Structure 1
Amino acid sequence: MEGWTRKNGHVLAELSQQEAAVIRGLVGQLKDMLTARADEAPQDELAELTGIRTGPTTPPEDRVLARLLPDFYRRDPITGETDEEESDAAGAMRSLHEPGLLEAKTGAAALVLETCPPMGGRVKLTGEQADGWLAAINDVRLALGTALDVDEDMPDDVPDDDMRREHLGVYQWLTWVQDSLVGALMA
């Protein structure tokens, strides 16, 4: 891949078969994780009648999913809430907002899987589709970075015996893909 370009209102890239396989594989895994979380939503008769979706009230136990689905409520130190009040508010906010966030994230992942050619080749996106790609690539980077314990202090080149070495190369490549896509969208 030489990078994303913008031409005649479309965002374009040429992916090798291996690049397409990496993107499709990681985005597919991400979509599966998010779909499994969505399936954990409680069945609520009132929600079915009103059409208001509800989700789990507790954060995911998996740290990768917890990074992708952060808390929707932060304690206000001025109000002096108790831990129980804070927990109830956080659970209510999560229950109300997580279904929409999951829908957006799985939708972006599905878009990438629909528009990324399985055998590699040309990708031609509208601006809206490019935004979806950007969201999905960002989520994959967040997930992979969390799994690999990537932080600001990590050197660009880790020792040969570091088991994360090969995966960090993929993380860095995805960072470049994301940066290139942002550049094309801003052009």
Structure 2
Amino acid sequence: MDGWTRKNGHVQAELSQQEAAVVRGLVGQIKDMLTARADEAPKDELAELTGIRTGPSAPPEDRVVARLLPDFYRRDPITGDTDEEDADAAGAMRSLHEPELLEAKTGAAQLVLETCPPMGGKVKLTSEQADNWLTALNDVRLALGTALDVEDDMPDELPEDDLRREHLGVYQWLTWVQDSLVSAILD
């Protein structure tokens, strides 16, 4: 991939078969994780009657999914204190808003899967589709960065005996793809 470019109102890029497989595979995994989380939503007869969906009030236990679906209030990582006065408010906010967030994230992932050719090739996106690609790529990077324990001061290359070495290269490539897409959108 040479990067994203803007042409005639569209954003486009050419992906190799391997690049397309990486994007599709990782985005598909994120979509599956988010769909599994959505399936954890409590079944509510009132919600079925009113159309008001509710989600789980507790944050995800999996740290990768928790990174994708953070609390709606800030929490001090050391003390656990929150900036919300009522401790139950975070759960209520999550229950009310997480279904919409999950729908947006899984929708973005689905759009990437629909517009990324399985065998590689040209990807041509409208502005709205490009925004969805950014959402999905960001989610993949957040998930991968969490799984790899990526930190700001992490070296660009890890020692050969570090099991994260190969995956860090994918993370760095995705960072470049996302940056290139942002540049093309803003161009």
Quickly name the TM-score band, shorter chain normalised: over 0.9
Deviations 1:45-82 (A, max 9, x none): 111111000000000000000000000124337xxx4x
TM-score by length of 1: 0.94
The corresponding residue for 1:41 is: 41
Where does 1:10-159 land on structure 2 (aligned, <5 Å)? 10-74=10-74, 75-76=82-83, 81=85, 85-86=86-87, 88-159=88-159
Aligned residues: 180
Q: TM-score, normalised by structure 2?
A: 0.94
CA distance in 1, matches of 2:42, 2:69: 17
Residue identity in the other structure for 1:114? E
Specify every segment of 5 or more residues in structure 1 that has no aligned partner in the other structure, as ranges.
none
1:9-40 CA deviation, whole Å, 9 max, x = no partner? 00000000000000000000000000000000
Task: Tell whether the 8 Å contact from 2:15 to 2:122 is kept in structure 1 after alignment.
Answer: yes
RMSD of aligned alpha carbons:
0.9
Structure 1 vs Structure 2: percent identity of aligned residues?
84
SS in structure 2 of the partner of residue 123 of structure 1: strand
Distance 1:124 1:76 in 2: 43
Which sections of structure 2, spanning at least 5 residues, go unmatched? 75-81
**Alpha-carbon deviation of 1:90?**
1.0
